[in-house]
Amino acid sequence: MTEQFLHGVNVIEVTSGARTVRTAKSSVIGVIGTAPDADEQKFPLNKPILIAGSLKEAAKLGQSGTLPSAINAIFSQIGATVVVIRVEESKNSDPELKEEETTANVIGGVDEETGGYQGIQAFLSSESIVHVAPRILIAPQFTHQLSGDAGNPVVSALIPIAEKLRAIIVADGPNTNDEEAIKWRKSVGSSRVYVVDPWVKVFEGEEKPSSPFVAGLIAKVDSEQGFWHSPSIKR
């Protein structure tokens, strides 16, 4: 049998609502985070939801939490195809406990009663639910923290997901100094993790995680030129 080789960009058709768009298979982004004011029917918790470059659909995430700004950052680069997973933001009044509980929701697992995936595990059900699997994974605001010598818990949990999906993880570094950035990178033992540091300055010096901007840029390069082109020298 003659072997078939793919030449050029592998393009798939994606349907979201009434729209059908063509996108590079390698450019589908998976983003997980919070959006307390989201339309709960459109964005139920712990379920992959597809946004095919639609600002109208993205607006249903509301304005609060980590997801709205992440989607806006991605779309500032390209109207990408994005698989969104919304998790519950902790309502704990203690800031440290709130962060811990929300991070636990991001990491997720398997629901003991229903057997359903929760948190980042839900990316594994993406193809069966929305018919595409993300190849670029991000979790803005949840990847820059270091937990002693153990590294970042969200990144650690994302690595086996990325391996199963044959995806990359774009993770934010600590946004402090070079020494801490090097320490952060050494805490990760996977070639699937693409570290971006420092964060980017947007409106009036406000700093935002770089990962959604970089994910959007990677998706743009993949769609327009192919995944074999590096985004490192692009603007």
Span 69-80, pLDDT tens digits = 999 999 999 888
pLDDT of residue 21: 59
* Residue bearing the bigger pLDDT, 141 or 221: 141
* Residue bearing the bigger pLDDT, 10 or 45: 45
Lowest mean pLDDT among 33-42, 62-71, 148-157, 170-179: 148-157
pLDDT of residue 79: 83
Give the span between the Cα atoms of 165 and 216, in whole angstroms: 19
What letter represents residue 36's amino acid? P
pLDDT at 2 over 60: no
Tokens at 186, concatenated: 């050494």
**What values do phi and psi take at 168, rounded to 5?**
-110, 155
pLDDT at 22 over 70: no
Tokens at 128, concatenated: 């069966």
Query: Residue 4: pLDDT band by 50, 70, 90 thresholds?
Result: very low
The number of residues in the chain equals 235
Summarize the confidence of residues 43-63 as an average pLDDT.
94
Summarize the confidence of residues 169-183 as an average pLDDT.
94
Beta 193-196 vs 200-201: how paired, if at all?
Answer: unpaired
Half-sphere exposure of 138 (CA within 13 A, CB side): 33
pLDDT at 5 over 50: no
pLDDT at 60 over 70: yes
pLDDT at 90 over 50: yes
pLDDT at 7 over 60: no
pLDDT of residue 206: 87
pLDDT of residue 146: 86
Among 88, 183, 94, 192, residue whose Cα is nearest residue 144: 183
- 197-210 confidence digits (pLDDT tens): 999 998 777 899 99
Tokens at 124, concatenated: 């594994």
**What values do phi and psi take at 124, rounded to 5?**
-70, -20
Lowest mean pLDDT among 96-105, 151-160, 175-184, 223-232: 223-232
Tokens at 12, concatenated: 């798939």
Q: Say if residues 129 and 48 touch (Cβ distance below 8 Å).
A: yes
pLDDT of residue 96: 95
Give the span between the Cα atoms of 220 and 26, in whole angstroms: 10
Mean per-residue pLDDT over the chain, rounded: 88
- 93-125 confidence digits (pLDDT tens): 999 999 999 999 999 999 999 999 999 999 999
Beta 19-24 vs 11-16: how paired, if at all?
Answer: antiparallel
